[in-house]
Amino acid sequence: MIEVELHLQRSEFQLNVEFSVPGHGVSAVFGPSGCGKTTLLRAIAGLEPDATGSLEVNGRKWQSPLKRLPVEARGVGLVFQHPSLFPHLTVEENLFYGMKRLRKVSNPFDLKELILILGIEQLLKRHPDSLSGGELQRVALGRALLAEPKLLLMDEPLSMLDQASREILMQLLESFLQQIDIPVLYVTHSSEEVARLADNLVLLSRGGVTACGPTTTVLASLNSELSRSESAFSVLQGRISNKELSGLLSVECSDGIDLKVPASESMVAKHYNLGRAVRLRIRARDVSICLERPQQSSILNILPAVIMEISTSSDSGSRVIKLDIAGMHILSKISDYSVQQLGLHTGQAVFAQIKSASLV
Amino acid sequence: MLQDYDITALIITLRLAATTTIILLIVGTPIAWWLANTRSRLRSTIEAIIALPLVLPPTVLGFYLLLAFSPDGPVGKAVAALGLPSLAFSFTGLVLGSVIYSMPFVVQPLQNSFVSLGKRPLEVAATLGASAIDRFISVVLPLSKMGYLTAAVLGFAHTLGEFGVVLMIGGNIPGQTQVLSIAIYDHVEALEYGQAHWLAGGLLIGSFLVLLMVYGANRRIHLMKTA
């Protein structure tokens, strides 16, 4: 377990957080910019000397009201938003900087394999100033991991990269972060990154935690500020069940419930084997509700659903509805007016029209 | 041609400049580091005190140092109490005076260099397990190479050219406290222009070569960075 209870008082900003996440897997810290995500991460790393409270990582006390471990004694890996390699050292020397300072090297990674996975084998002798943003960030990740951290912190590691390098690094993170034995706290404001990477989700707003738990549960809750916002979304897990349709993939998300999602031929051929586990992201505003099953609709995914909960009306005159589709929970955002017109109420059987779902 | 006492003056000058520079690099590093990182309100006061020699006539500084070093002065009394020889009119006194006089020329380049370094490399090093001293040696020093070179050259060169302070506290004793700049003055006073030329011209060319080397090194480092 990673148990966090930290407080930090700044002149114009207050951080007061209390949450715990499992001591393995990827936990995303998600929130709008300025909500204190980076400050929280820095406080956990020990880089904010004024932060008070307590912090425990898998049984090790990093901070208590009586004592705080200095940064260098915590065993924390930190990948910053701006890749921060030492400019006076080569890529290789950067990689080994932390490893050389370990008292006891237990080599959880095979060095050669790690270098290959990160795709930096050609760069080892070069200096950081000749590397691209994506390359720098991959070296920084390798450097942090080789120092054998007890907790890996990542502060929007993709946000400074161009679209192409972002996609490369994202695919690497997707498979790699699940393989390693180190818990990861991943700060981001991108719903796509949450959907693709996070097993657990901590929602942060104005310096406080508003929700925390498994990603699908947190996203399906109507109480969070996120679910009321324009960017509300749901994440479903499933397996590829059919790839014979032209331009479409079929994903089985629950017993007998298939969702069809668009996918280009080349993507299908390259990445998606039958039975592969995938995640789908569905925006709440892309889900509408009908009382009867629409016939001859262009919308591919129309599924029977039961209304579990209806939120109170928001300022913008819309409501969020939590739907149960064969045990899966997804959010739908529709107007207050429609809720009145259709006479929607909790427990009602309806049909959910999912205008678009994307593989993430 | 150079006389024996001119060569002695040259050697004393080089010894003084070298000793002063080494002491200043050692003493200046923690001062500059503190100035670059502190949030203390004392900072501006300390900065102002260190910068004083930049604006004061050297004779003012020399005058007060002389008073302090005299047998009745605070430093003089302390030195006598410890059973050490007097500082006034001695080489040690000159070194002490030069350290104070050349302090800003060493502290300021180091401070600028530490500030431009930023906190990030040190934070990264800390998360990678480097202790404070380790961080300083493995990150700060190599990244502040240019700052140290500039500080050393400015400190050395400034001490070479010192006149007023040395005259006040050194007393112009040939073979002990007579430095080059004062020897030149003496030659000119005695209308020995030929000998003054040897010393003055030598100093001019020597200083130019040193500065040329520094700017050359600066350019090479800059080119390396942008290569």
Q: How many domains does chain B have?
A: 1
pLDDT score of B226 more than 60: no
* Residue range(s) of every CATH 2.40.50.100 domain in chain A: 233-359
Yes or no: say if B29 and B110 are a contact pair by the CB < 8 Å rule.
yes
Cβ separation B130–A97 shorter than 8 A: yes
Could you give the CA distance from residue B35 to residue B143 in angstroms, rounded to a whole number? 18
Say how many CA atoms lie within 13 Å of A43 toward its Cβ. 26
- Which residues, in sequence order, are bridge partners of residue A2? A21, A57
Q: What is the mean pLDDT of residues B29-54?
A: 93
CB of B121 within 8 Å of a chain A CB? The answer is yes
Which CATH number covers residue B54?
1.10.3720.10
Q: What is the largest CA-CA distance in chain A?
A: 68
Could you give the CA distance from residue B133 to residue B142 in angstroms, rounded to a whole number? 13
Q: Which residue, among B128, B135, B140, B143, would best test binding to A if mutated, counting the most A CBs under 10 Å from its CB?
A: B128
Query: Edge-to-edge strand order for the sheet containing A301-310?
Result: A287-290, A349-354, A301-310, A318-325, A328-335
Say how many CA atoms lie within 13 Å of B204 toward its Cβ. 7
- For B51, the domain range is 4-226
Nearest to B182 by CA among B162, B208, B201, B198: B162
Could you give the CA distance from residue B165 to residue A319 in angstroms, rounded to a whole number? 82
Q: What is the largest CA-CA distance in chain B?
A: 67
Domain A233-359, what fold? OB fold (Dihydrolipoamide Acetyltransferase, E2P) (2.40.50)
pLDDT at A268: 67
Q: Please report, rounded to a whole number, the percentage of residues in chain B having pLDDT higher than 70.
A: 96
- CB burial string A87-125: b at 16+ within 10 A, e below: ebbbbebbbbbbbebeeeeeeebeeeebbebbebeebee
Residue A88: its chain B contacts at CB < 8 A?
A: 142-143
Residues 21-80 of chain B whose Cβ lies under 8 A from any Cβ of chain A? none
Residue B128: its chain A contacts at CB < 8 A?
A: 72, 97-98, 101, 143-144, 147
Residue of A nearest to B142 (CA): A88
pLDDT score of B44 more than 90: yes
Q: Does the interface predicted TM-score (ipTM) exceed 0.85?
A: no
Q: What is the mean pLDDT of residues B191-215?
A: 88
pLDDT values of chain A reduced to their tens digit, one per residue, 360 residues: 999 999 999 888 899 999 999 988 899 999 888 888 899 999 999 999 889 999 999 988 999 988 889 999 998 999 998 888 999 999 999 999 998 888 887 777 788 888 988 889 899 999 999 998 889 999 999 999 999 899 999 999 998 888 888 888 888 888 888 788 899 999 998 888 888 888 899 998 888 888 888 888 888 887 777 777 777 888 888 888 887 777 888 888 877 788 888 877 666 666 777 888 888 888 888 999 999 888 888 888 899 999 998 888 777 788 899 999 888 889 999 998 998 888 898 999 999 999 887 777
pLDDT at A267: 67
Superfamily holding A2-220: P-loop containing nucleotide triphosphate hydrolases (3.40.50.300)
* Residue range(s) of every CATH 3.40.50.300 domain in chain A: 2-220
Q: What is the mean pLDDT of residues B25-34?
A: 96
- pLDDT tens for B108-148 read 999 999 999 989 999 999 999 999 999 999 999 999 998 99
Tokens of A176: 């790699």
pLDDT score of B227 more than 50: no
pLDDT at A191: 81
User: Considering just the CA atoms, what is the radius of gyration of chain B in Å?
Assistant: 20
Average pLDDT, rounded, for chain B: 89
CB of A59 within 8 Å of a chain B CB? The answer is no
